[in-house]
Amino acid sequence: MTDPGTSAGTAPAAAPATAAELRARTRNLLAAHPPAHTARTDFLRARFDAGLAWVHYPEGLGGLGAPRALQAVVDAELEAAGAPDNDPRRIGIGLGMAAPTILAYGTPEQKSRFLRPLWLGEEVWCQLFSEPGAGSDLAALGTRAVRDDQGDWTVTGQKVWTSSAHTARWAILIARTDPDLPKHQGITYFLCDMTEPGVEVRPLRQITGEAEFNEVFLTGVRIPDTHRLGAVGQGWEVARTTLMNERVSIGGMRLPREGGMIGKAAEAWRSRPELRTHDLHQRLLTLWVEAEVARLTGERLRQQLAAGQPGPEGSGLKLTFARLNQQISALEVELLGEDGLLYEDWTMRRPELVDFTGRDAGYRYLRAKGNSIEGGTSEVLLNIVAQRVLGLPAEPRDDKDLPWKDLAR
């Protein structure tokens, strides 16, 4: 696996030696493009071109080849100056999943074409991985990509649970290119244009009343070979890079103390003293401590990321994120009593992003049910932690070496 700081085809620039040098570079950017007098898009473009978008990326791709940990120095200077950000929550799939995968496996042309508009938010990305018949067992996917005489590809199949497909310009896609090989070997990774003929996006209404997710039908969708990421048949290896980054981006979000779901539960406790009981108090304290431990563990994981690609530790953090969100949201509903059942907006909506903390307690309780499915089911992540962190033996599998076409479906 190629380290993002030294991706093939892009030599990293000499990194600024100190945080002081990065701080000075950021102040030069602010002086040349004062945020109060510079259009948001112009400022973000100047920031990217100055190498201050993601400092650990190579020079020319929004970075300086610097240690990842120094990004905090840049961000602190920009925040203090009131500089605009790139709305990272709206483009989280691109930033957290597509970008590190393109950096690790992309050609110089692919990196140059995709990374700048991705970071600027000019092009939104989605992820076409899961399928109706291959959810937890992603490697069993059946979407087919067939190569034509010109070397390009035609893709046909169905994907499901796709966040942001209704707003996305591009998608990361894995498809089966050789059904005669075992399921993990016959997969190839592509960058799919969501505006191509044959791409159909349909909303999936959730228990919250929203349609944040989608199912995507691909019927004879043309993908040029220049939009293949990695070698033919290397798709599973490339996809693992995406999945490891996805779990870190879901479970390892940077939060202040008492941020996120636990903050809303603590707020409910403080605002409704008439609903307090000793049992609820003890449960809140326990969850508060666990949330703080998870937050600090996330900080430590981000420090490890400064040295390279994420490992299986992100799976453990994502497991904890799902469990805590569900337990905390359930406690908040209990704390609020009858008011916890209220949910103001059941209207069918197509949101661009999930808003856990800006909605009702009832919404948080319902939406958190999906946390143990999205980004890898908790059952799959438990197996990953058992095997790759604890060193336990893998579960016996009788289909691992069978050709995909011979698998029972």
Q: What percent of the chain has pLDDT over 90?
A: 54
CA distances for 251 relative to 10, 100, 124, 260, angstroms: 30, 17, 21, 12
- Asked whether the predicted pLDDT for residue 9 surpasses 50, the reply is no
* pLDDT average, residue stretch 353-358: 69
Coil, strand or helix at 221: strand
What is the token pair recorded at 141? 């996917």
For residues 261 and 256, give the distance between their C-alpha atoms in angstroms, rounded to a whole number. 12
Please check whether residue 284 is in contact with residue 265, taking contact to mean a CB–CB distance below 8 angstroms: yes
Please check whether residue 97 is in contact with residue 128, taking contact to mean a CB–CB distance below 8 angstroms: no
For residues 132 and 113, give the distance between their C-alpha atoms in angstroms, rounded to a whole number. 32
| Burial group, residue 323, by CB count within 10 angstroms (0-12, 13-18, 19+) | middle
- The per-residue pLDDT for 5 is 38
Coil, strand or helix at 190: strand
- Asked whether the predicted pLDDT for residue 15 surpasses 60, the reply is no
Higher pLDDT, 369 or 300: 369
Higher pLDDT, 309 or 244: 244
Please tell me the least confidently modeled range out of 30-39, 92-101, 300-309. 300-309
* pLDDT average, residue stretch 261-266: 92
- The per-residue pLDDT for 316 is 78
- The per-residue pLDDT for 12 is 44
Higher pLDDT, 309 or 319: 319
- The per-residue pLDDT for 352 is 67
Q: Left (φ > 0), alpha (ψ -120 to 50) or beta: where does 55 sit? A: alpha
- The per-residue pLDDT for 321 is 86
- The per-residue pLDDT for 391 is 87
Q: What's the CATH number of domain 240-389, 1.20.140.10, 3.30.479.30, 3.90.25.10, 1.10.530.10?
A: 1.20.140.10
Domain 125-238 sits in which CATH superfamily? Answer: Butyryl-CoA Dehydrogenase, subunit A, domain 2 (2.40.110.10)
For residues 256 and 270, give the distance between their C-alpha atoms in angstroms, rounded to a whole number. 19
> CA torsion, points 277, 282, 286, 289, in degrees to nearest 10?
90
- The per-residue pLDDT for 378 is 81
What is the token pair recorded at 80? 């203090």
Instruction: Show the 3-state SS of 127-140.
Output: EECCECCECCCHHH
- The per-residue pLDDT for 189 is 98
- Per-residue pLDDT tens for 141-152? 999 999 999 999
Please check whether residue 237 is in contact with residue 174, taking contact to mean a CB–CB distance below 8 angstroms: no
Which residues form the catalytic set?
246
- The per-residue pLDDT for 4 is 39
- The per-residue pLDDT for 178 is 97
DSSP 387: I
- When the pLDDT of each residue in the chain is averaged and rounded to a whole number, the result is 87
Task: Tell me whether domains 125-238 and 240-389 share a fold.
Answer: no
- Per-residue pLDDT tens for 21-78? 999 999 999 999 999 999 999 999 999 999 999 999 999 999 999 988 889 899 999 9
Name the residue ranges covered by the structural domains of the chain: 4-85, 125-238, 240-389
For residues 75 and 225, give the distance between their C-alpha atoms in angstroms, rounded to a whole number. 37
pTM: predicted TM-score of the whole model, two decimal places = 0.83
Please check whether residue 162 is in contact with residue 178, taking contact to mean a CB–CB distance below 8 angstroms: no
